[in-house]
Amino acid sequence: MDTCPVRDRRHYGVDVNPLQRSALDLAHRAVQIGHRCVERAGEVTPDTRTGRRFGALGPGSLIGYPQASLVNIERMHFGRDVLVGRHATLAIGYGPGDPYAPDRALVVGDRAVLGARITITAHESIVIGDDVFFGQNVFVTDASHGYQDPELPIGRQFGPHAPVSIGAGSWIGHGAMILPGAQIGRNVVVAAGSVVRGSVPDRAIVAGTPARIVRSFEPGVGWADRHGDVRPIVPGVFSGVQALATPETSDVVEDSLPLT
C-alpha cells in the first residue's frame, strides 16, 4: 500500500485527475526549492562561520553541501575561486585537534576544481597547483598503513609520510588514486581509475594501475606514444564547442575522451 500522499502515481502508469496533478506538482516544486535552499545555506564560503575557520579560503571559493567530513580545517589553505563538490572529505592528521599536524598540510591553488565525493587526507604535505581539475571519487593521500608487525592490526600500524604535489593545469580523472610520494608535473592527464605513485613529468598522459606514461609532449612534434603515434598540437582545441567540433581536431578529442 502506498502511504506517501504526494507520490506521483503517474510513475506507475496510474492516471491522476487535474486536482491531484496540481497538488503533486506543487509538492514537487516545494521539495525542489527547499532542497536548493538547504544546499545554498550549507555551502562553505569565505564569509561563513566554517569558512572563517580555514587557514585560508580565498575569495570566490566554495565547498558544496553536504560535506562528508572536514577535519582540522584551520590547517587547510585554499586560493581564490576554488570549487569543491558535494560529499567531500578533507582531513588533516589522524583526528580532530591532532597536535602533530603541520600548519599547511593541505595547500590548494587558485581556480582548482575538486570533484564530488573527493577524499583528501593530508598528514605532512599535499600541494595542489593552480587550475588543477579533479573528476569525481578521486582519492589523494600522503600516508598509508604499515604491516611489519604480524600480530598488530594493520589499522593501528602507521606507515611513513611522503609529500604529494600536483602541478598546475593538470587533470585527474574519475576514480583515480594519488598515493604517498606522488609528484605529478604540470599539465598532466591522469586517466580515470589510475593509481599514481612516484614522479610524473610535465605534459604527460598516464594510465593504469600502477599508472604508466602512455603519451607525452614532444616540443615541435606533438603528443607521442611509445609506438610512434603522434597527435598534433592544436592550440585552443578545448576553448569552446566549435573548436571541439572541427574535423581537424576530432582525432585529438577522441584520443582524450577515455581519459576523463
Nearest Cα to Cα of residue 130 among 111, 115, 114, 113: 111
CA atoms 195, 201, 202, 203: torsion sign? negative
Number of Cβ atoms within 10 Å of the Cβ of 244: 13
For residue 82, give the nearest of 103, 108, 107 by alpha carbon. 108
Q: Of 176, 218, 214, which Cα lies nearest the Cα of 197? A: 176
174 is catalytic: no
Catalytic residue among 87, 123, 145, 174: 145
- The catalytic site residues sit at 145
